[in-house]
Amino acid sequence: MVTLKIRYISDKIEKLRYIDGKSDWVDLRSAEDVDLKAGESRLIRLGIAVELPEGYEAHIVPRSSTFRNFGIIQTNHMGVVDHSYCGDSDEWMYPVLAMRDTHISVNDRICQFRIMENQPVLCFEEVEHLTGKERGGFGSTGIH
């Protein structure tokens, strides 16, 4: 078990909960009422600061219902919070772009996070040929 130190900057949001067996993602909530017009972007306060354990980072992404419910998309597509962002005033925020006029209320679940171990140190070895099977094309699709 890994322990996260959480400082609640807002007393208006529900406390974080880890729901064992359902998902290993933890919901995050808006710490403010937000009204956005289509095309507007902003950072939405999430009302928490977190001290991650050494060697971990947090990944923040939308919930599966975020676009349907609020018409917003995350502007950086995935937020990464590293271990150094861990002070009392280092409040997590959610960068969004409104695709339609929308209202988000305090305590609405708008995104989710999980923690991951940092990538190990990598070294790069230049070779003449790779030994893997040739699939052709781009990525997993195999499309040229």
Contacts of 125 (CB under 8 A, 6+ apart): none
Contacts of 62 (CB under 8 A, 6+ apart): 72, 73, 74, 110, 111, 112
**Known catalytic residue at 82:** yes
Report the phi/psi class of residue 86: left, alpha or beta, with left for phi > 0 and alpha for psi in -120 to 50.
alpha
Place of tokens 């997993």: 140
The catalytic position among 82, 88, 101, 108 is 82
Known catalytic residues are 82
